[in-house]
A and B are shown apart, each in its own frame.
Chain A
Amino acid sequence: MLEMLRWVIRRDLVLAMRRRSDVLTTLFFFIIVVSLFPLGVGPEMNLLRTMAPGVVWVAALLASMLSLGRLFSSDYLDGTLEQMLLAPQPLSIVVLGKVAAHWLVSGVPLVVMAPVLGLQYDLAADALLILTASLVLGTPVLSMIGAIGAALTLGLRGGGVLVSLLVLPLYIPVLIFGAGAVEASASGLGAEAYLSLLAAFLVGALVLTPWATSAALRISLD
Chain B
Amino acid sequence: MLEAIGLECVRGDRRLFRDLSFGLEPGRLLQVVGPNGCGKTSLLRMLCGLMAPVHGEIRWEGASIRSLAEDYLATLTYIGHLNGVKDELTALENLRISSALGGTHVDEPAAVSALEKMGLGGREMLPAKVLSQGQRRRVALARLLLTEAKLWLLDEPLTALDKAAVAFVESLLAAHLEKGGLVVLTTHQDLQQPGLGTRRLELGT
Contact = CB atoms under 8 A, between A and B. Distances in A.
Interface of A: 3-4, 7, 11, 14-15, 18-19, 74, 77-80, 82-90, 94, 221-222
Dominant SS among interface residues on chain A: helix
B82 A89 contact: no
Interface string B70-105: 110110101011111111110001000110111101
B51 A88 contact: no
Contacts of A84: 101
A88 B50 contact: no
B48 interface: yes
17 contacts: A4-B101, A7-B101, A11-B93, A14-B89, A15-B89, A18-B89, A74-B86, A79-B80, A79-B81, A82-B80, A83-B78, A86-B102, A87-B73, A88-B73, A221-B50, A222-B51, A222-B52
Contacts of A85: 50
Interface of B: 48-52, 70-71, 73-74, 76, 78, 80-89, 93, 97-98, 100-103, 105, 127
Chain B interface, DSSP helix/strand/loop, else mixed: loop
A77 B102 CA distance: 19
Contacts of A11: 89, 93, 97
Contacts of B97: 7, 11
Contacts of A88: 70-71, 73-74, 102-103
Task: Give me the 8 closest cross-chain CB pairs, A-B, nearest first.
Answer: A79-B82, A88-B74, A79-B84, A18-B88, A88-B73, A88-B103, A7-B100, A80-B84
Contacts of B50: 82, 85-86, 221-222
A83 B84 contact: yes
Given A7-B101, A222-B51, A82 B93 contact: no
Q: Which of B52, B86, B89, B93 has the most CB of A within 10 A?
A: B86
Nearest to A76: B82
Contacts of B88: 14-15, 18-19
A163 to B, nearest CB: 23
B89 A83 contact: no
B85 A83 contact: no
Contacts of A7: 97, 100-101
A78 B140 CA distance: 12
Interface centre among A7, A86, A221 (most CB of B within 10 A): A86
A94 B98 CA distance: 13
Given A15-B89, A78-B85, 6 more contacts: A7-B101, A18-B88, A19-B88, A80-B98, A83-B102, A86-B78
Contacts of B73: 86-88
Contact of A82 (B70, B74, B84, B86): B84
Contacts of A82: 50, 78, 80, 82, 84
Contacts of A14: 88-89, 93
A90 B70 CA distance: 7
Contacts of B52: 222
